[in-house]
Amino acid sequence: MDYSISPDGTGKYIIIKIKGALRHQESIQLLTEAFDLGAELGIEQFLLDVTESPHAWPLGADYTFVNETVRNENNFNPNAKTAVLVSPEDTSHDFIIMVSSNAGLNIRLFRDREEALAFLAGN
């Protein structure tokens, strides 16, 4: 899995781009890096682009990751707003997004980049 984390050109959100298989341990690392960068720059909005990264964890791992790992991160930001961008035909991320939303995270799944950006902009 390759990934990049950087602020967008306007400084309003952090872009997290993932390519390849999404693995649990690397997900923890990139989440930590993204929250750290957000805290450093005063940014609480994230665009998670997984259009090139299908999700293949077991369902139990999704629940544990969201309800234990994410919430226990020292730099977890409960005010974070996250738009997850998937490719139009990809349904592999649907369950973890549902688990995340049910856990109280402000996260939504999008298949259209403009809709994801509108969500982050508050539209």
Angle at 80 between CA 33 and CA 70, to 5 degrees: 60
Residue of higher predicted confidence among 95 and 58: 95
Residue 21, number of CB atoms within 10 A of its CB: 12
Q: Tokens 């234990």 correspond to what residue?
A: 68
DSSP H helices, 1-123, are 24-41, 59-64, 71-72, 94-102, 113-121
42 DSSP assignment:
T
Nearest CA to 39 out of 79, 97, 85 is that of 79
pLDDT of residue 75: 65
In the predicted model, is pLDDT for residue 38 greater than 70?
A: yes
The rounded percent of the chain whose pLDDT value lies above 70 is: 93
Domain chopping of the chain, boundaries: 2-110
**For the whole model, what pTM was predicted?**
0.88
pLDDT of residue 78: 76
Residue of higher predicted confidence among 84 and 31: 84
pLDDT range class, residue 23, cuts 50, 70, 90: confident
Class of domain 2-110: alpha beta
Q: With DSSP H G I counted as helix, E B as strand and the rest as coil, what are the percentages for the chain, rounded to 5?
A: 40, 25, 35
Q: Are 109 and 40 in contact (CB under 8 A)?
A: no
pLDDT range class, residue 70, cuts 50, 70, 90: confident
Q: What is the pLDDT of residues 100-116, one digit of tens each?
A: 888 888 999 999 999 99
